[in-house]
Structure 1
Amino acid sequence: MARMPSAERRRQLTEAAIRAMTRDGVARTTTRSIAAEAGVSLSVFHYCFDSKQALIESVIATITDHYVTVVKDAIRPKATLRVTIRAGFQAYWDHVTANPGEHMLTYELTQWALRQPGFEQLARRQYELYSDTYGELIEELRHSMKFELRVPVPVLARYLATMTDGLTLHFLALGDDAAGADILDMIADHVVGLALPCD
């Protein structure tokens, strides 16, 4: 087995865990099955992750990073704020519809963590990460497109995290990706309505 830096090995194991958990479910995925998925020994897994909690934190952060990367690309300033915001939502939505299993896994991880004594904070941290990520995206966009907001950034960030979380679950349950477009249009319009041009 080729040696690789521990950060890269952790990434490899995290991606293997995402594949295994998406395919088999969180409860049925073991450290042994993750190591096998990654093509490494169990000792390598335990060298990289000292607990299941550390692995799950890494899985949640990595899944979030998968779609944040495409959203950041999409919200480069365009002709108008509305077009820019809507492009960001579309990038997120395209990721959801192309990777439903990965997004379903996020809900499974939340439920699993809430039911496991001592792991509840993982679910809390997961949802804090969603709001924090929206906050960062809003701030980047606010500075690049020069606008202020009628509401505090953390409030808007939690609102957007809640709306997209609900919309994602709606799609996973009903499979109607077309219904998302109208809702994302409405959310984009609402955000633009909260924006004030800088003097």
Structure 2
Amino acid sequence: MARMPLAERRRQLTEAAIRAMTRDGVSRTTTRSIAAEAGVSLSVFHYCFDSKQALLESVLTMITDHYIAVVKEAIRPRATLRETVRAGFQAYWDHVAARPAEHMLTYDLTQYALREPGFEHLARRQYELYCETYAQLLEQLGRQTGFELLVPVPVLARYLAAMTDGVTLNFLVLGDADAAAGILDMVTDHVAGLIRER
């Protein structure tokens, strides 16, 4: 087996974990099955991750980082502020529609972390990461548009994290893309109403 830098090997194992957990569920995925999925020995896995908790945190970070990159790319000034905000939501939603199993995995990770003693902090970290992500996106929007929010960034960030979490789960359960689009339109109008020119 060719030697690979540690960061690259961790990325490889994290991607393998996402595939295995998406297919088999978090509770049924073992470190052995992840190593097999990645095509490496179990000792390589343990060299890269000192615990399953560390791996799960890497999985959450990778999934979140991917859709953050997609949304950041989409949030660029458009003809109107509303169009700019809606483009960000649409980019997130396109990610959900293209990768529903990956988003379902995030809920499985939450449930697993809440039920497994000693893993509760991962669920907390997951939702903190969502709020931090929205705060970054809101700050990016403010820099790009020259507008300011009428509510504190942390409050709106938590609201948006809860809203997208709910609409995503609703879509995964009911499969109604039109209803999801209507909700995103309504939230876009709400968010645009909380922004003013400096």
Where on the TM-score scale, by shorter chain, does this alignment land: which range? Answer: over 0.9
- In the TM superposition, 1:1-199 aligns within 5 A as 1-198=1-198
How much has 1:90 moved relative to structure 2?
0.5
How much has 1:7 moved relative to structure 2?
0.5
Q: Tell me the SS of whatever aligns to 1:62.
A: helix
Letter in 1 for 2:74: A
Letter in 2 for 1:73: E
How much has 1:129 moved relative to structure 2?
0.3
Name stretches of at least 5 consecutive residues in structure 2 with no aligned partner: none
Q: Tell me the SS of whatever aligns to 1:148.
A: strand
Letter in 2 for 1:37: E
How much has 1:47 moved relative to structure 2?
0.3
How much has 1:17 moved relative to structure 2?
0.1
Q: Tell me the SS of whatever aligns to 1:196.
A: strand
CA distance in 1, matches of 2:194, 2:27: 42
CA deviation map 1:9-67 (0-9, x unaligned): 10110010000000000011011110111111111100000001100000001111111
How much has 1:79 moved relative to structure 2?
1.4
Letter in 2 for 1:41: S
CA distance in 2, matches of 1:41, 1:177: 42
Name stretches of at least 5 consecutive residues in structure 1 with no aligned partner: none
CA deviation map 1:65-94 (0-9, x unaligned): 111111111111111111111011001011
CA deviation map 1:74-118 (0-9, x unaligned): 111111111111011001011101111100000010000000111
Identity in percent = 77
Q: CA RMSD in A?
A: 0.7
CA distance in 2, matches of 1:58, 1:106: 12
Give the alignment's TM-score, normalised by structure 1. 0.98
CA distance in 1, matches of 2:83, 2:117: 44
Q: Which moved more, 1:71-80 or 1:131-140?
A: 71-80
Aligned residue pair count? 198
Give the alignment's TM-score, normalised by structure 2. 0.99
Q: Which moved more, 1:14-23 or 1:79-88?
A: 79-88
Which stretches of structure 1, 4 residues or longer, exceed 6 Å deviation after superposition?
A: none
